[in-house]
Structure 1
Amino acid sequence: MSTPVLDRTAETAVPVLDILAQRWSPRAFDDAAPIDEAKLAAALEAARWAPSANNTQPWRFIVARRGSDLHARIHDGLLGFNQVWAGNAAVLIVALAEVADAQGTPLSHAQYDLGQAVAHLSVQAHADGLVVHQMSGFDRATLEQLPGVEARFVPTTVIALGEFGDLEALPEALQEREVAPRVRRALDETVLVSA
């Protein structure tokens, strides 16, 4: 049974939806709990219904469950300390931006739309009690060799998804990062101009 998730609710400058304030990106995953397939399906369905320019839906996902060869291949493509903890996640998902359509026409908004789809996936997963951590530390060439990856699909992030695990199973430096204060740039530094 997994450890209860820490309360890491953000101290926002103004009220936001609870689900948004409570979402965070842990590295402690339960290395034994299988994925709840209904919750995984709901997260992917939420991504499917994300906003999309001209309804092009320029995102694709490769979904790999722990214990599969595909999970191991994705894990092998991770870089640095991501390899220390991400293999414990019940699921690793490669999120790919479709940067050109099947006819070769560039889709300039692909990464933006993919980001929205992943945000929807993350919020749905959190609402269902799963934890999500997105990673940019991966070897693109390794992930481009995965099944189903056409040249027009660009690996953009890898998502670890599963049940919250034991903080003490992480190396000490990562344990400290899990409980460090959450900080963000001030809102007035983020909004460049407001008229």
Structure 2
Amino acid sequence: MTAEDYTVEVPASKPAQTSVPVHPLLAERWSPRALDPATVLSDEQFTALFEAARWAPSWGNTQPARYLAARRGEPTFDRIHGTLSRGNKGWTSNAAALAIGVARVVDEDGEPMPYGEYGLALATENLVLQAVAEGLYGHQMAGFDRDAARAEFGIPAEFEPIVAVAIGGLGSLAGMPERLQEKELRPRTRKPLAELVFTDTWGQPRF
């Protein structure tokens, strides 16, 4: 299949095919790369992403999640963009905002912070779902240089950069490499519940 076989429109919605209904915020969440370079986040929208992250649960209310964040056009956006992998740099320049999620992994007494990465994950899911609620999309990425991010922003040793996030509006497939077009149009899939949830003994499906 070639790029000519595709239309240039990304599906506006790719709802999850669930065994029972789930909340629309969950069903509609997906991670496009085709972002609209014209999308701009208002001050309130941008703040709300991180306010949502702030109210995520965490072990003992330790709140280990931190973020480096900026909107497109701000110098910090370009600095975050510079830490991304080559593949991610190719499409994230159209994002309305970029962020790097950082987890506290050592507490104030110099001891390992329990569940620091888990806390960051919960906060970042809140951030992404807030984006969905605003009619936006969040794409989380492992493809960035942690050491480069640490050096660029002076991240202390007791914190670990874990994830990068691009937030924006839905754009077009036009000009995207064929391999990325294929990913954008590919149906969303997940393993069945029978492979994920067990009862009585390990491997015995609950559903």
Whether 2:165 is the aligned partner of 1:182: answer no
| Whole-angstrom CA distance in 2 between matches of 1:25 and 1:36 | 21
Name the SS of the counterpart of 1:116 in structure 2. Answer: helix
Alignment of 1:38-187 (within 5 A): 38-147=44-153, 149-187=155-193
Aligned partners of 1:136 and 1:156 also within 8 Å = yes
**CA apart distance, 1:169:** 3.5
**CA apart distance, 1:101:** 1.8
* Number of the residue aligned with 2:43: 37
| Whole-angstrom CA distance in 2 between matches of 1:138 and 1:74 | 9
| Whole-angstrom CA distance in 2 between matches of 1:88 and 1:34 | 10
1:28-60, Cα deviation, whole Å (9 max, x unpaired): 111133222211211111110001111100010
| Whole-angstrom CA distance in 2 between matches of 1:129 and 1:32 | 14
**CA apart distance, 1:4:** 8.3
Identity over the aligned pairs, expressed in percent?
A: 44
Matched letter for residue 14 of structure 1: V
Matched letter for residue 148 of structure 2: T
Name the SS of the counterpart of 2:93 in structure 1. Answer: helix
| Whole-angstrom CA distance in 1 between matches of 2:132 and 2:40 | 16
**CA apart distance, 1:117:** 0.4
1:11-34, Cα deviation, whole Å (9 max, x unpaired): 012221111011100101111332
Runs of at least 5 residues in structure 1 that lack an aligned partner in the other structure? none
Aligned partners of 2:10 and 2:184 also within 8 Å = no
Structural RMSD (CA):
1.6
TM-score computed with the length of structure 1 as normaliser: 0.92
User: Cα gap change, 1:25/1:9 in structure 2, threshold over 3 Å: closer, same or farther?
Assistant: same
| Whole-angstrom CA distance in 2 between matches of 1:181 and 1:6 | 13
**CA apart distance, 1:122:** 0.7
| Whole-angstrom CA distance in 2 between matches of 1:77 and 1:16 | 36
**CA apart distance, 1:6:** 1.3
* Number of the residue aligned with 2:24: 18
TM-score computed with the length of structure 2 as normaliser: 0.87
